[in-house]
Amino acid sequence: MISPHDVDPRRITPLNQCELPRFETAAGSLSPRFPQSHRPVIYWMHRDQRVQDNFGLLHAQALALHAGAPLAVVFCLAPSFLHAAWRQYAFMLDGLGEVARQLAALGIPFALLQGDPGQETAVWCLQQHAAVVVTDFDSLRIKRHWMRQAAEVLAAHDVAMLEVDSRNIVPCRAVSPKQEYAARTIRPRIHRLLPEFLHMPPAVRPHPHAFAGHVPQVNPADLTQLAAALPVNRTAEPVTWLRSGPGAGLDALQDFIANRLRFYAENRNDPLAGATSRLSPYLHFGHLSALRVALAVQEATAPREAKEAFLEELVVRRELADNFCLHAAGYDTLAGCPAWARQTLDERRHDPRSHLYSLEEFEQARTHDPLWNAAQQEMRLTGMMHGYLRMYWAKKILEWTTSPEEAMAVAIHLNDTWQLDGRDANGYTGIAWSIGGVHDRPWKGRPVFGTIRYMNESGCRRKFDVPGYIARVKSLASSH
Ligand code: FAD
Ligand code: FO1
């Protein structure tokens, strides 16, 4: 039987000062006594939208099993979430439908609420007489607000709330207590701890104690309809080329490992090579755990340099992004950028711009640059953009807007509206890297950019077949 010890305590952070129900700690065993008749343990799912490989759900089940208590899972559908559009809600709710089915098969109730998550979820947990609420860690400001709100409501009724980091292989708070300067400073901290965390977690099991509370029944088929009824931007329509959910995520992982991982080291910067995993939507919505991806890649038959190059992105770069968003208050503004970058951008603030475009012109891919327009088109059509082009795409927005502040706002707006993997620590960090030099260093100075790293089309032509890429997006557009 799983025990609360199965989840490394470095993943777990109390979110209020309430005591967990008393545990009698006999040697090696935890036997919590939840007063009254077995109040349930509730897991509030929001970042890690999966059943297996989910340390938050695992810990909640372990606490419930040791108390002989029921277990329930709750998700709250927010009417808006950053710049999320119909496209992302449809993908997310599709995946949640599969999660609901998997929980039902384990006898674990799944409650879908709607409204302001911090408030709605806390109130529902109190109505179920929750003994303790376990939830996901998230570095984003909006999520920390939800957590603070819920933790306060629960604390007023002496209900403990715990946060568990299931997004990162090495828990974000364990990697470093402060903002790391660059990949080279966080890499040794992660690599030192990796051997302690690169282990497959136990499975979530059928739960033996029935939940007595009232759970609004969720018909998984209805969830996609829910997406269509939300008051969100509908120009970014659902994508049809990609299946959503934990099962599709595992299939995509297997396909990547079998057919493309071995080309990753040398071809990952070529948008036409298809050498990257394209797992980011599944990692963003938590359908797939980075831990499972890392273990599968480690065991794969592929050149060592391919595996190392991939794990550098999946582990070091991805966990550096959470470190940045957790510790840099203004991670989505220039305020989060290093002083040298803010200074150089300031000095170049009044340099003449070769072109200037509005948010609408960018959004409709109506610039003078066919390569930039093709990348924007690819994002509009598919909900994805190849990583190398994302750097070029963001840097040109700096070059063709009136100020670096406007550039960041435009890049975030477009990235969060059109990308399936948007609204993510990786995105705010990728944009801050491209426009504000975060985790980068000064380069040769030039107009507008100052010493921010510059990229141009001839640089892209050295990396890949630019006309070929533009043609491919054109044919993609004509087949839509
Ligand atoms: P692969 O190359 O196969 O990498 C595997 C996984 O590692 C990715 O899915 C991702 O989770 C992680 N990863 C890869 N590169 C990075 C990186 N540079 N930083 C952090 N994690 C990384 N990523 C997002 O998930 N959401 C975003 O909104 C996003 N916006 C970006 C915006 C800009 C301007 C830039 C420069 C990068 C952005 N990235 C974003 C990071 C990266 O480009 C994408 O994660 C990657 O292209 C996703 O494609 P893939 O899954 O095929 O990646
Ligand atoms: N999380 C929620 O708990 N409720 C939502 O309604 C919700 C909507 C949403 C839409 C788009 C998107 O990209 C993420 C969304 N999330 C929502 C956030 C999710 O919980 C995770 O934070 C993300 O998957 C990033 O980790």
Number of the ligand closest to the Cα of 408: 1
**d(CA 92, ligand 2 centre) in Å:** 8
Does the C-beta of 70 come closer than 6 Å to ligand 1?
no
Q: Residue 296: inside a domain, yes or no? A: no
Q: Residue 324: inside a domain, yes or no? A: no
Picking from 166, 185, 201, the residue at the C-terminal end of a domain is 166
Radius of gyration of the chain (CA): 23
For the stretch 192-211, pLDDT in tens is 999 999 999 999 999 999 99
Picking from 150, 166, 182, the residue at the C-terminal end of a domain is 166
What residue numbers bound the domain in which 55 lies? Answer: 4-166
Mean pLDDT, residues 221-230 taken together: 83
Q: Residue 17: inside a domain, yes or no? A: yes
What total of structural domains would you count in the chain?
2
pLDDT above 50 for 435: yes
CATH value at residue 384: 1.10.579.10
Does the C-beta of 423 come closer than 6 Å to ligand 1?
no
| The predicted structure's pLDDT at residue 37 | 52
CATH value at residue 47: 3.40.50.620
Mean pLDDT, residues 436-446 taken together: 97
Which range is least confidently modeled, 122-126, 220-224, 286-290, 463-467?
220-224
Q: From residue 231, how far is each of 66, 81, 228, 310, 339 by CA, in Å?
A: 42, 11, 8, 38, 39
Residue 268 Cα: closest atom of ligand 1: 2
Q: Residue 115: inside a domain, yes or no? A: yes
Does the C-beta of 138 come closer than 6 Å to ligand 2?
yes
Residue 278 Cα: closest atom of ligand 1: 52
Angle formed by the axes of helices 387-399 and 425-436, to 10°? 50
Indicate the average pLDDT of the chain: 94
Number of the ligand closest to the Cα of 421: 1
- Report the distance separating Cα 435 and Cα 467, nearest Å: 26
Number of the ligand closest to the Cα of 75: 2
Binned at pLDDT 50, 70 and 90, residue 474 comes out as: very high
Does the C-beta of 84 come closer than 6 Å to ligand 2?
yes
Does the C-beta of 83 come closer than 6 Å to ligand 2?
no
For the stretch 298-342, pLDDT in tens is 999 999 999 999 999 999 999 999 999 999 999 999 999 999 999
How many CB atoms lie under 10 A from the CB of residue 268? Answer: 19
**d(CA 444, ligand 2 centre) in Å:** 39
- Report the distance separating Cα 99 and Cα 250, nearest Å: 14
Q: Are 423 and 429 in contact (CB under 8 A)?
A: no
Q: Residue 307: inside a domain, yes or no? A: no
**d(CA 16, ligand 1 centre) in Å:** 33
**d(CA 230, ligand 2 centre) in Å:** 14
Picking from 131, 166, 201, the residue at the C-terminal end of a domain is 166
How many CB atoms lie under 10 A from the CB of residue 209? Answer: 16
The residue nearest atom 12 of ligand 1, judged by CA position, is 314
Q: Residue 439: inside a domain, yes or no? A: yes
In this structure, what token pair is assigned to residue 356?
A: 């200037």
Q: Residue 114: inside a domain, yes or no? A: yes
| The predicted structure's pLDDT at residue 22 | 59
Q: Residue 367: inside a domain, yes or no? A: yes
Q: Of 379, 381, 374, 366, which is closest to residue 479 (Cα–Cα)?
A: 381
Q: Are 134 and 42 in contact (CB under 8 A)?
A: yes
